[in-house]
Amino acid sequence: MNKPKIALTIAGTDPTGGAGVMADLKSFHACGVYGMAAITSIVAQNTKGVQHIHNFDQSWLAEQMESIFDDELPQAIKTGMIASKPMMELIRDYLKKYPDLPYVIDPVMLAKSGDSLMEDDAKADLQNILLPYAMVATPNLPEAEEITGLTINDEQSIYQAGKVFINEIGSKGVVIKGGHSEDKQNAKDYLFTQNDVYTFEEPRYDTKHTHGTGCTFSAVITAELAKGKSIYEAVQKAKKFISLSIKHTPEIGQGRGPVNHFAYMKEVGLDDE
């Protein structure tokens, strides 16, 4: 039996299973990759919003990371909700120690409900400490604006933001997601690498159930990189995966429900690898 590829997510929780490490692990599984997780924060949230956030002490994350890396090395790493500078510095130390491990950063700042998931000071730290090590960063439009300081309201400003990530911040790749755009027909994402720009477009579905889309999208990219796929191939798969996940949402909860993490697995199957 072939040993499975392993992806590690470092993020917060969602007790209703739609976002955070719960969504990441489901997405890894649906991509045929074994998932590991280190918890940064316990978040009391549901489809209606975030009620409470309890950020772990940096030492608690350190203990989890030591346990993981002392036993088994993952083939790719993803971070989601990272609430404090000491946690970012700890993660950076691992990225420096294992520079060949693909690293995907979902710069989580706001929940779908609009609730803040990051301390204000930590937003600048994210740019200085973690983003330069990213093989792929996956900001949505509001996050890209927060990070770059630009107003992003058209394709030209998206290209400007992409250049900031690549040329100034130092990320190897960035996907600026168009889910928050004014286009009511299609959801268009822009992938910027050091040499190329690609666009990925899927139909926009009329649903409020999009909780956890950012976590899921970045988790699929991480899983595909763990399998040795290129950045382009990983993002292409993630775009199709998240589109089907939204199309077949299970409509759980009284608010913004989660997406269907197994829709791609059911419709396309794992035999396309």
**61 within 8 A of 40, measured Cβ to Cβ:** yes
Which candidate in 12, 13, 31, 215 is catalytic?
215
DSSP character string of 55-114 = EPPHHHHHHHHHHHHTT---SEEEE----SHHHHHHHHHHHHHSTTS-EEE----B-TTS
Which candidate in 17, 35, 162, 214 is catalytic?
214
Q: Does residue 215 have an active-site annotation? A: yes
Which candidate in 16, 210, 216, 222 is catalytic?
210
Nearest one of 79, 144, 75, 141 to 106, comparing CA atoms: 79
Q: Does residue 222 have an active-site annotation? A: no
Q: Does residue 40 have an active-site annotation? A: no
Helices 231-247 and 213-226, interaxial angle, to 10°? 140
Which candidate in 177, 188, 227, 229 is catalytic?
177
Q: Does residue 208 have an active-site annotation? A: no
Which candidate in 31, 212, 227, 249 is catalytic?
212
Which candidate in 213, 216, 222, 249 is catalytic?
213
Element (H, E) at 29: helix 20-30
Q: Does residue 179 have an active-site annotation? A: no
**189 within 8 A of 239, measured Cβ to Cβ:** yes
Q: Does residue 148 have an active-site annotation? A: no
- Residues catalogued as catalytic: 177, 210, 212-215
